[in-house]
Chains A and B, each alone.
Chain A
Amino acid sequence: MAYTLTVNGSPHTVDTEPGTPLLWVLRDLLDLVGTKYGCGVAQCGACTVHLDGVPVRACVTPVSRVGAKAVTTIEGIAANPVGARVQEAWKSLDVPQCGYCQAGQIMSATALLAATPKPTDAQIDEAMDGNLCRCATYPRIRKAIKSASGQAEA
């Protein structure tokens, strides 16, 4: 089946099975490898992308369900002012260790701040709990979210 997807603002047509997860369409067919595979079953958040600004797990999102929704990946998140701010905060706090989870973390954090510009700790927990970091960079992720939202670290 042919599908036309809008990814980071540009249209791409791919020919694949309807059930192919968006994750593998991005990685193997469109060569956008920033979105990561961690678990394949919506348990780690490494594959988080936005569909019309809403964070979804690309590993369990069949390409057939994307439709006309705009797909945003880590490669395109800087075009979103909130995303750019998140990246900046991540950099100044040197958030990553191995870095593998960080694309997903940034996508989730950007969606959180877009919906909730000044999140509380509890809101951060709730929005970020599905994004695992094996290196456990959580203290800096929290700090970076606060810094990107203009809140001083408590």
Chain B
Amino acid sequence: MNAPVLSRRLFLAASTAAGGGLMLAFNLEGEARAAGPAALSAYLKVSPDGKATIASKIPEVGQGMRTALPMIIAEELDVAWEDVIVEQALADTKVYGRQVAGGSMATTLEWDGMRRVGAAGRWMLIQAAAAKLNVPAAELTTEPGRVVHAASGRRLSYGDLAQAAAAIAPPDPKTLVLKDPKAFRIIGKSHVQTDTDAILTGKPLFGIDVRLPGMVYATFLKAPTFAAKVASADLAAAKAVKGVRDAFVVEGGTALDGLLPGVAVVADSWWAARRGRNALDATWAEHPTSAQSTASLAARAAEFAKAGAQRVARADGDVAAALKGAAKVVSASYDYPFIAHAPLEPQNCTARVKDGKVEIWAPTQNPEPGRALVAKTLNVPPENVTIHLIRCGGGFGRRLINDYMVEAAFIASKVDAPVQLIWTREDDIQHDFYRPGGWHNFTAGLDAKGDLVAWRDHFVSFGEGETFVRSGGMNSTQFPAGAVANYQHEVSVMPLGIPTGPLRAPGNNAFGFVIQSFTDEVALAAKTDPVEFRRKLLGEPRLIGPEGQNDSFHTGRMRGVLDLVAEKSGWGRKLAKGRGLGVACHFSHLGYVAVVMEVSVAKGEAKVHKVWVAADVGRQIINPTGADHQVQGSILDAIGSTLRQKITFENGAAVESNFGDFPLLRMSETPPIEVHYLLSDNRPTGLGEPVLPPAPAALCNAIFAATGKRIRSLPVGDQLA
């Protein structure tokens, strides 16, 4: 192995691949230093047959990273996409650095490093060619899969050079010259997802498709009230069911994201396990949260609204004085419900525990915390836990939490066979880490000219003291923070015994709704067109917040997408009676997105006829087909949840249980969506999340334009009846 070259971020090591050719291992965060180069696994391999194998380190949940990241490497390496083979990397953050499908961060974090990896491979192949042809490297260029010596017309294929390149020390990544984006052949062109063929032909790909020799199937029944203990279960009845191998009580703990109490049933087939579970007739112990209900939480929130906030999180200027002096004051209270993620593949995980070693096949968005949880629960060292990253049938943030992983591992530790745990859909909807509900009590003041002079948001959420429950917090930098002289962000929290967690654009998926809906109300009070009012509020192009900080907000970039969406949607045009256009714009996950929807309401139902989206996620869309997928998917996700989704709680337990009472959007409700990217001179950033937050408000503002009915509480449900 050649001497590793280290830069601040990128670590490269070259060696000969098994079977010959160049193996270029790398690490983006330099953490491999401690582990040593031997700990690096293959990332980029160029084989003697000219094929480039690229290991994709990010879990795949349908966001397309198994395609987009390898495209970046392939571009700079300069190989034909047809010659690229993508392999899934194991979960090992010591080797790979961050391995999370979440936060829309992969594109922005990996962009530069992935380019340099590809460029390093290309550089080494060029050096090998220079030696072979005995010409200076500077005289050589590449075309896909070949090094070219233009002066003599000689060409050498990468395959023929791969072995020699393995003996060359990798370059210092910082010194590499990257391609001029104008010369991109792969980036910026649509490439069908890596796994599309396998998906379309029904090949085993997903967590529930994993098959191991001697594997058995398990189901795990938990209390409807979160973390309640098992009072009784008829284990004998379950074991009497044909095919059932074992049934046992799991003591479990109290941490909502750990191993909870329940009853495991293990069988030769999942259906037998399921029948065994039905025979359990389990009862549950009383639990301190079993009095909790949607109504009791709402009642507490109403008390906060009346009594005033527990604390002030941010205060610019003097909101009270500004409101007193305002020509007009607008107040409104908004709320949104808990909702479930409901990825179409129910939670599942396969595990084998043998001789103190744990091997896991997990559809997970975030393997590392799962490893820690399994190690702790099973009392084994973390290095004895191997995690295979399996394609997820949807994530949406649900699989950032690995409760199902620890359940599978624990059950497998009690059984002398590999175990595949599969949750029922009911388990999935009733034991989610829900997007928490929340309440916002807004007051805004306008001066005589109709300009915004004061903004107050009293946010009521869950937590204790200054700590919020997971994904229940709110940043104090939400626009119009920094754009209005008097701004106050107030917070109250109440305790909660319901698991919560990140759902696509966490926090922002709700803040976009409340802020952009209330902004519409304020525009109306100012007698100003909603787009015009937003333009005024954005003002001069400038950065609000410090340079380089993720929540710093550029008013000019938002203005750009707002103008673009207004133009494309024909904002201001006359519509038939009963139809309306609604606009909203929101910044999150480094992306600036504006949305217009055209909506009609008839017979108490809102129908979206068309959606226009303008998004600024920097200078480069890597894989347009994947990007459009994320944009359209986010919009439709938002329409579905805004119109109908909610999880209600009674007796400390979720009421909804399957797609009948937790409906997903359907084909017939899907409007055409026009997508426009505003390419700006900023680094490329992710698209899996930022498009969702403005959509609910665009929809509800359009409902208002069509009917005069302001939606201040989600879901829309039967409020239009």
User: Which residues of A approach B to under 8 Å, CB–CB?
Assistant: 16-17, 20-21, 24, 27-29, 31-41, 43-44, 46, 73-75, 78, 87, 90-92, 94, 96-103, 106, 124-126, 128-129, 131-142
Query: Given that A134-B343, A141-B667 are contacting pairs, would A74 and B202 also be in contact in the complex, using a CB cutoff of 8 Å?
Result: yes
Residue pair B208, A21 in contact (C-beta under 8 Å) = no
At the interface, yes or no: B201 with Cβ under 8 Å from chain A?
yes
At the interface, yes or no: B29 with Cβ under 8 Å from chain A?
no
Residue pair B344, A98 in contact (C-beta under 8 Å) = yes
A residues less than 8 Å from B425 (CB atoms): 38-41, 44
B residues less than 8 Å from A131 (CB atoms): 667
A-B contact count (CB 8 A): 175
B residues less than 8 Å from A73 (CB atoms): 202
CA separation between A126 and B668, bound complex, in Å? 8
The proximity string for B residues 181-211 relative to A, scoring 1 for CB distances below 8 Å and 0 otherwise, is 0000000001011011101111111101101
A residues less than 8 Å from B63 (CB atoms): 97
Q: Min CB distance, A104 to chain B, in Å?
A: 9
Residue pair B670, A136 in contact (C-beta under 8 Å) = yes
CA separation between A100 and B651, bound complex, in Å? 33
Q: Min CB distance, A28 to chain B, in Å?
A: 4
CA separation between A90 and B195, bound complex, in Å? 13
Query: Given that A24-B271, A125-B667 are contacting pairs, would A39 and B629 also be in contact in the complex, using a CB cutoff of 8 Å?
Result: no
Q: Min CB distance, B692 to chain A, in Å?
A: 11
CA separation between A120 and B209, bound complex, in Å? 35
Q: Which of A74, A94, A101, A106 has the largest number of chain B CB atoms within 10 A?
A: A94
Residue pair B62, A99 in contact (C-beta under 8 Å) = yes
At the interface, yes or no: B447 with Cβ under 8 Å from chain A?
no
At the interface, yes or no: B562 with Cβ under 8 Å from chain A?
no
At the interface, yes or no: B548 with Cβ under 8 Å from chain A?
no
Which of A16, A24, A78, A135 contacts B633 (CB under 8 A)? A135
B residues less than 8 Å from A38 (CB atoms): 344-346, 425
* Docked complex: B309-366 residues within 8 A CB-CB of A: 342-346
Residue pair B672, A96 in contact (C-beta under 8 Å) = no
B residues less than 8 Å from A37 (CB atoms): 208, 346, 422
Residue pair B392, A98 in contact (C-beta under 8 Å) = yes
A residues less than 8 Å from B345 (CB atoms): 36, 38, 98, 100
Residue pair B670, A98 in contact (C-beta under 8 Å) = no
At the interface with chain A, which of B511-519, B598-606, B657-665? B657-665
- When C-beta atoms are compared, the residue in chain B nearest to A74 turns out to be B202
Residue pair B393, A36 in contact (C-beta under 8 Å) = yes
B residues less than 8 Å from A98 (CB atoms): 61-62, 343-345, 391-395
Residue pair A100, B394 in contact (C-beta under 8 Å) = yes
The proximity string for B residues 662-701 relative to A, scoring 1 for CB distances below 8 Å and 0 otherwise, is 0011111010110000000000000000000000000000
Residue pair B393, A100 in contact (C-beta under 8 Å) = yes
Q: Min CB distance, A66 to chain B, in Å?
A: 15
A residues less than 8 Å from B246 (CB atoms): none
Residue pair B196, A96 in contact (C-beta under 8 Å) = yes
Q: Min CB distance, B604 to chain A, in Å?
A: 20
B residues less than 8 Å from A35 (CB atoms): 202
A residues less than 8 Å from B62 (CB atoms): 96-100, 135
Query: Given that A40-B425, A135-B633 are contacting pairs, would A91 and B200 also be in contact in the complex, using a CB cutoff of 8 Å?
Result: yes
Which of B206, B422, B672 contacts A100 (CB under 8 A)? B206
A residues less than 8 Å from B31 (CB atoms): none
Q: Min CB distance, A122 to chain B, in Å?
A: 8
